[in-house]
């Protein structure tokens, strides 16, 4: 798969913006995650943030190695959240203050979007 500027592969793209199918999967992932947060609150928030941070790390690695972003990023992050939730319980995560969790999420998302802006058009 080519990593030239403007090239698009099946799983990656050089475009910064989302295409229509990515908007749909991102909206679906946001609905699932928001619903879980509204239903379970803090029990979901800590593993959710941990999963998102893992997802941002995977997405950043794709940026570095493929010189393109992975399509359907929100679905990957939702999968990472699911993996954290399915794994062993992390009682230490639940003791982290809610403001710190939201701050970590915001910092991770901002760092990823900054890296994505540098790579993508």
pLDDT of residue 9: 74
Task: Classify residue 8 as left (phi > 0), alpha (psi -120 to 50) or beta.
Answer: beta
Q: Which helix (H) or strand (E) holds 49?
A: helix 42-66
pLDDT tens per residue, range 50-73: 999 999 999 999 999 999 999 999
Give every residue of the chain whose pLDDT is below 70, as ranges: 1-8, 88, 90
Q: How far apart, in whole angstroms, are the C-alpha atoms of residue 38 and residue 17?
A: 28
For residue 68, the Cα-to-chain-centroid distance in whole angstroms is 15
Q: How far apart, in whole angstroms, are the C-alpha atoms of residue 19 and residue 81?
A: 23
pLDDT of residue 42: 84
pLDDT of residue 7: 53
pLDDT of residue 93: 72
């Amino acid at each position: 798969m080519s990593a030239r500027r403007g090239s698009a592969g099946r799983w990656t793209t050089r475009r910064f913006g989302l295409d229509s199918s990515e908007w749909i999967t991102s909206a679906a992932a946001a609905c699932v995650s928001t619903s879980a947060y509204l239903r379970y609150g803090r029990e979901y928030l800590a593993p959710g943030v941990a999963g998102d941070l893992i997802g941002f790390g995977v997405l950043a690695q794709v940026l570095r190695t493929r010189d393109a972003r992975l399509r359907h990023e929100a679905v990957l992050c939702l999968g990472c959240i699911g993996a954290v939730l399915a794994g062993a319980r992390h009682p230490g995560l639940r003791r982290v203050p809610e403001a710190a969790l939201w701050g970590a999420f915001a910092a991770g998302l901002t760092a990823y979007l900054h890296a994505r802006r540098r790579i993508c058009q």
